[in-house]
Amino acid sequence: MLKLIIKLYGAVVRGLWEPASSRVYGELIRARGVILGRGAKIYGMPIISLYKGSDITVGDQAVLRSSSRGNAIGVNHPIVIRTLWHGASIRIGDNFGMSGGAICAARNITIGNNVMIGANTVIADTDFHDPLRPGQRGETGVEGSKDVRIEDEVWIGADVYVCKGVVIGRGAVIGAKSVVTKSIPPNCVAVGVPARVIRKLDGMS
């Protein structure tokens, strides 16, 4: 009987706390200068860093999970959404879902509608450092940044790295732990390091 009472109490507390905390997190995100659409569900506070003169927009009905609650494999850290330079832009469409992971733009990252991103994935339009220049490897820069575009209806698995200059076409699926170094056409499955197309989703191999 006691176990049942404790279980019911926990369910009631979660039912009250999660919607309230989601609203609070949403207002904190907006206070940082992010344009956040309606109906967002936010579990745990993401790390938001908006460089002066840059912009971050997230569409309606986003689900942002910065805690391991609701994600079967958990997250390594809160979601990071960060612009790194003036003029940089991150624009995310409606019905976006992400658990943990990071989106970092020195130039431009665009994500379409109905995009789902698995736990701990990283999307970046910059290399952050240039390891090919001895003596200058510790310096950061944005000169080599290239736009990233992820089109509508894309599914990206856990622990994926999407590199600068990549376009992932509408309806594509990226397998877990892939490193996407080149653009992926629409309606296909790509996996591996580097990611390669292994299947067309219309049944054509």
Q: Name the one residue in this structure whose structure tokens are 């908006």.
A: 50
pLDDT in tens, 93-138: 999 999 989 999 999 999 999 999 999 999 999 987 666 666 665 5
Q: Can 77 be counted among the known catalytic residues?
A: no
Q: Which of 7, 38, 77, 129 is catalytic?
A: 129
Query: 205 in a domain, yes or no?
Result: no
Q: Is 91 left (phi over 0), alpha (psi -120 to 50) or beta?
A: beta
Cis amide linkage into residue 194, ω under 30° from 0? yes
β pairing state of 122-124 and 161-162: parallel
| pLDDT band at 144; cut points 50, 70, 90 | confident
* Inside any domain, residue 194: yes
Residue bearing the bigger pLDDT, 188 or 203: 188
SS3 144: coil
Range of the domain at 36: 2-200
Q: State the average pLDDT for the chain.
A: 85
The CATH number linked to 143 is 2.160.10.10
**pLDDT tens for each residue of 49-80:** 999 999 999 999 999 998 766 666 667 788 99
What is the pLDDT, as a whole number, of residue 203?
A: 55
How high is the pLDDT of residue 204? 46
- How many domains does the chain contain in total? 1
Cα gap 196→139, rounded to integer Å: 32
> Where does 47-130 show beta strands of DSSP type E?
47-49, 55-58, 63-65, 80-83, 89-92, 97-99, 102-105, 108-111, 116-117, 122-124
Phi, psi at 63, each rounded to 5°: -120, 115
